[in-house]
Amino acid sequence: MIRRIDRIAIEMPPPSDPDPVGAARVQELMGGRFGEMSTFMNYTFQSFNFRNRQGARPFYDLVANIAAEEFGHVELVATAINTMLTGATPVNGGHAPKASLAPLKDVGNPHHFLVGGQGALPQNSLGQPWDGSYVFSSGDLVEDLTHNFFLETGARNGKLKVYEMVEHPAARALTGYLLVRGGVHQVAYARALERLTGADLMKLFPAPRIPTDKIPECRPHIKRGDHLRLYRFSPKDYLELSAVFNGPHPETGEDLVVVDEAPEGAPAYDLPSQPAVFAPDYAPEDIAEIAERLRKKAGLPNEPTGEVANAKRSPAKPRRAAPRKKPAARAKK
């Protein structure tokens, strides 16, 4: 089971100039064969299917715990894509019969606008859906770890390339962070293989080459030591990480560290409505009104209780220029 925390792994930049083409490319890190859905789902299934856990506890703990971190990476990729798509359609008065989406006719992934609500999709950079055949779970521990090491290598390649292709601040913040954390996972799986077989995969590092310390968006994370740390993403479980994850980092020689609790993360921006694609509605203020009424009736505080990065004033209530006729179909409960 999981518990969910309504925070994201790191502070992400607020929406700025939209970049729908960039968002279409960042999808590779979401639904590509080497994207974060793949890392999340691979390690999750491997942990579900892990036999003789007690006998191999340090390895089970390693795989199961990294799986948990990967959920946060999937979430972060989504956050970046959503941020980059924000503002791509007109905020006001964009409804049919206006051609509010016409400027996007030949821009990026058409599903971002025609099928989704300017939101992330489980697709790759070609708009192809992520697929369960990307999951490798042979049950053979050495083989699964070999796979995971290779998967992280491919993932690192993808992150580097997306970094070089997409300059939007959200994409850069994303890839800078993922490169550092993916590097840790690469090391973790290499070390696990070393512990089991003696093979010294550490000599492959970094693969692909390009040390992360050359990349400005990686540096804050390196500075804080995140290139050395494996966090324990559980309040009480996965206590044996340190049996595997220890020794020197292959590139820097510094000691690898298990941190006994998950990172605190940061609140996400509450991204504004995009009414042209009905997200979350044609007239978002109606929903806000209903929500207020329901909250009151349930005895909840007047202000929304959720924590978001963009301060007090929720974007849910844009100033309204003119009085609005209430649609008949809305409930009055």
166 near a second copy, judged by CB under 8 A: yes
Site string for a second copy, 1-40 (x = CB under 8 A): xxxxxxxxx-----------xx-xx--x--xxxx--x---
Q: Provide the 3-class DSSP secondary structure of residue 257.
A: strand
CB 63 within 8 A of CB 39: no
Of the candidates 168, 165, 117, 125, the one whose C-alpha atom is nearest the C-alpha of residue 15 is 168
Shortest reach from residue 225's CB to a second copy, in Å? 19
213 near a second copy, judged by CB under 8 A: no
CA-to-CA dists, residue 60 to 37, 43, 74, 169, 324, angstroms: 20, 10, 21, 36, 57
325 near a second copy, judged by CB under 8 A: no
291 near a second copy, judged by CB under 8 A: yes
Shortest reach from residue 258's CB to a second copy, in Å? 9
Interface pick for a second copy out of 17, 92, 93, 200 (rule CB under 8 A): 200
Task: Report the Cα–Cα distance between both ends of the chain, in Å, rounded.
Answer: 35
Phi, psi of 259 (to 5 degrees): -100, 130
Interface pick for a second copy out of 305, 320, 321, 323 (rule CB under 8 A): 305
Shortest reach from residue 193's CB to a second copy, in Å? 7
Interface pick for a second copy out of 16, 17, 93, 167 (rule CB under 8 A): 167
Which 170-189 positions form the footprint of a second copy (CB under 8 A)? none
CA-to-CA dists, residue 258 to 8, 156, 230, 238, angstroms: 21, 22, 5, 11
Give, as one character, the DSSP assignment of residue 268: P
Shortest reach from residue 246's CB to a second copy, in Å? 7
> What does the block give as tokens for 329?
């179909």
Which 216-275 positions form the footprint of a second copy (CB under 8 A)? 216-217, 233-240, 242-244, 246, 250-251, 262-263, 265, 270-274
Interface pick for a second copy out of 13, 45, 91, 309 (rule CB under 8 A): 45
Which 83-112 positions form the footprint of a second copy (CB under 8 A)? 94-102, 104-106, 109-111
CB 258 within 8 A of CB 229: yes
Of the candidates 111, 86, 109, 89, the one whose C-alpha atom is nearest the C-alpha of residue 99 is 89
Q: Which residue has the tokens 């077989």?
A: 197
